Amino acid sequence: MKLTAHDIARMIDLSTVRARDNENRVRDLAAAAARHQCILATALTSHIPLLVDLLAGEPDVGVGGNIAFPSGSGTTRIKLAEAEALLDMGCDELDMVMDLGRFRSGRYGDVEDEIRAVVETAGDRPVKVIVECHWLTDDEIRRACEICLNAEPAFIKTGTGWTPTGATPENVALIKSCVGDAIRIKASGGIRGLETLVAMYRLGARRFGLGLGHEVAIFEELAARPGGAVDV
């Protein structure tokens, strides 16, 4: 099987979600997402209205919003309000950070209920749950997968990209072994080139979170390959 540049673009969530990112950065994000026809572009909450406007003429490029980013520590009430606000702004998908503090305190039922509430609020819009693998043991990753299987988000996401490590072959493979095909996997953090993306794909990831600019090397590598495609 081969993946073309278009195939890969339709699995890339392109983002600019650093605290220092300004509106010019968001304009660059929209232009890059449109140029490559990425499936999604995402920015911090205050920049979402601008991003929606910039992508209004690109029906195939969605806009994603982030809930409780990057710590996951807001109250459920605030997270639901944030989800509603992002949907009202025009977001097509939501990425929410799991409450790591409550999770690591053993309050698994509360974490599950919160995720389920956001999923219900989103309706037919996909929700991705960021479990921030960097801070979790393998057993905790397994428990987070179990919670997600019960709460039924569309995706489990490896991380925010704000931690020292992001997606690794080990955590992608572990998540896949836990959820099978019941929930899709988004690998995010540390994906800088085509080889890494393809390795994650082979392990089961079907979405890839890339910071703005990191997509350049991937598409350049693809363009240099015969037929502009890669075997997977």
**Mind listing the pLDDT tens digit for each residue in 85-122?**
999 999 999 999 999 999 999 999 999 999 999 999 99
The neighbouring-strand residues paired with 184 are 155
pTM of the full predicted structure? 0.96
Find out whether 147 and 111 touch, Cβ atoms under 8 Å.
yes
User: Residue 35 has which token pair?
Assistant: 């140029």
Domain count, the chain: 1
Give the integer Cα–Cα distance in Å for 14 and 208: 8
Q: Would you call 95 a catalytic residue per the annotation?
A: yes
Q: Is 162 helix (H, G, I), strand (E, B) or coil?
A: coil
* Catalytic member of 79, 128, 176, 186: 186
What is the residue range of 100's domain? 2-231
70 preceded by cis ω (within 30°)? yes
* Catalytic member of 95, 99, 128, 176: 95
**Mind listing the pLDDT tens digit for each residue in 211-229?**
999 999 999 999 999 889 9
* Catalytic member of 13, 21, 79, 157: 157
Nearest-Å Rg of the Cα atoms of the chain is 17
User: Residue 25 has which token pair?
Assistant: 């950065």
Q: What's the CATH number where 114 sits?
A: 3.20.20.70
**Mind listing the pLDDT tens digit for each residue in 156-203?**
999 998 999 889 999 999 999 999 999 999 999 989 899 999 999 999
Query: Which residue type, as a one-letter code, is found at position 214?
Result: H
